[in-house]
Structure 1
Amino acid sequence: MTQTQPPVTRAFRTETRSFDFTPPGQADLTRLLELDGLEQLLAMRAGEMPPPPIMDTLGFTDLRPEPGRVVVEMPAAEFHYNPLGTVHGGVISTLLDTAAACAVHTTLAAGELYTSVDLTVKFLRPVTVDSGLLTCEGTVIQRGRRTALAQAQLTDGGGRLVAHATSTCLIMRADG
């Protein structure tokens, strides 16, 4: 005979977070593919095209693209935490991937697409809300016809390097 355990009641502090976003697919994809990669990101920054939903999901506050380089900012927040009370490695990896990949994005010609092939991350120090504004700079190391190699460096509000990544991206034509 099995006895059922009564539910455990816990008194944890809870908070609510909500945000609005534009789902993918509502943007004019034809227009998007008529622009080169830098123009696409600049249009998103200017509010002419919707940003990707991940920026709102994680609370990115800035994306500054220029040729071969992107800076992404996000304040460290408690909703980014893992069970041990630090920013989850997946959140840090997402920042690094975004900066490295968007740096490659700035090099795309009109009608080109890309996808990340790999991401190698090195975590150098813990990140908490006390880390402040996280700034991630992505730069293109090498851009070829079919692949690009990029890197990203994540620093905390005090300018300390907290993580580093390299990424390879595959570049392809949208029409095939």
Structure 2
Amino acid sequence: MTQTQPFETDSRTVTWATPGQGDLARLLELDGLAQLEAMRAGEMPHPPIMDTLGMTDMRVERGRVVVEMPAAEFHYNPLGSVHGGVISTMLDTAAACSVHTTLAVGEVYTSVDLTVKFLRPVTVGSGLLTCEGTVISRGRRTALAQAQLTDEAGRLVAHATSTCLIMRAGE
């Protein structure tokens, strides 16, 4: 029988605003940019995934979103680098939210796909990660967006493209 050795551990407590507390009817009276601005201002709760992953900032303007997050050990995979799913989540957040900023009152959207290219490893040494999402093309029913993730030194570490389906609320 093998005896396990105790490993040094760390812990983290995450708190978030319970989803559904915001007034969905009020949210749908705003266009997409105003919705994200209300979340940033604390007038509406932001998505819990931001707290779960430790995203620290989101700046928004029409057709463009920038999300920041310091790389942390709790993001690691077994090989000692930030898990690709964490990187993909940042890319998806920035790309999809850039589309969100273009929504008219009463419109909603969902991601159809996300294509990610990992270009270099990300570790705690990568520092503050910055992900910029921009809309490439916005049509009546679909939008194409891209996102670029850079480390604190400004090196491109990952890139993604995403297609989003745009619908009227309630469709």
The aligned counterpart of 2:97 is 102
The aligned counterpart of 1:59 is 54
The aligned counterpart of 1:40 is 35
In structure 1, list runs of 5 or more residues that go unmatched.
none
Identity %, equivalent residues: 80
Distance 1:10 1:48 in 2: 48
The alpha-carbon deviation at position 21 of structure 1 amounts to 0.5
| Aligned counterparts, 1:22-171, within 5 A | 22-171=17-166
Distance 1:10 1:36 in 2: 55
Give the TM-score taking structure 2 as reference length. 0.98
The alpha-carbon deviation at position 52 of structure 1 amounts to 0.1
Moved segments of 4+, more than 2 Å: none
Distance 1:18 1:10 in 2: 25
SS at match of 1:39: helix
The alpha-carbon deviation at position 98 of structure 1 amounts to 0.1
Q: How many residues align?
A: 171
SS at match of 2:88: helix
Distance 1:86 1:149 in 2: 29
Q: Which amino acid aligns with 2:65?
A: V
Which structure has the greater CA radius of gyration? 1
SS at match of 1:42: helix
Distance 1:170 1:38 in 2: 17
